[in-house]
Copies of this chain bind each other. A is one copy, B any other.
Amino acid sequence: MFIKFITTGGTIDKIYFDDLSQFEVGESRMQHILAEGLVTFEFDVVPLMHKDSLEIDDADRRKLRDYISGDDATRYVITHGTDTMPVTAEALSDLKGKTIVLTGSLTPARFRTTDAIFNVGMAVATAQVAAPGVYIAMSGQVFEAGAVQKNRAENRFEPIDRN
């Protein structure tokens, strides 16, 4: 079993310097998280971008889509900022024959209390178990691309109400 991890930035990889500095996207925490999970499968981690979710644009999404389209893995976990994660998920949704799971966190992975580790655990399981397609694993749930939104006021992911 092999999973390819692609990191794009976002809250999950935020670091903090000091009073004079901003909170910035740092090196990916993915290897640390996988080490903590004591995983034994094979994997690669590809840091494709270092961006906040709101800075990811259509060109970035094409880059991500082209990367996966031209790559021969079949299981992907993509870490991504939360604000536009649903947009990126939809932009990948016509990729066939691959199980692609986007995740991230509402609190940086470097915090003592963070949803990052739980979320990556969900994403890793979904990449193995789910049928080919594009998913978002956040807020303890696995959503299909196109059927999920971030509720900013409540700071959680939820199904889109289609009424």
Contact = CB atoms under 8 A, between A and B. Distances in A.
A156 B38 contact: yes
A145 B1 CA distance: 18
Contact of A141 (B54, B114, B128, B142): B128
B18 A118 contact: no
| Residue with the greatest number of chain B CB neighbours at <10 A, chosen from A37, A52, A156 | A37
A160 to B, nearest CB: 15
Given A41-B141, A126-B129, A130-B129, A118 B36 contact: yes
Interface string A120-163: 11111110111000000101111000000000100111100000
B115 A112 contact: no
A40 B138 CA distance: 9
Contact of A41 (B38, B112, B140): B140
A91 interface: no
A126 B125 CA distance: 6
| Residue with the greatest number of chain B CB neighbours at <10 A, chosen from A36, A53, A121, A155 | A121
Interface of A: 1, 10-11, 14, 16, 18-20, 22-23, 33-34, 36-41, 52-54, 81-83, 106-108, 110-115, 117-126, 128-130, 137, 139-142, 152, 155-158
16 contacts: A1-B141, A16-B23, A16-B107, A18-B83, A18-B152, A19-B53, A19-B83, A37-B115, A38-B115, A38-B140, A40-B158, A111-B112, A118-B120, A121-B122, A121-B124, A121-B125
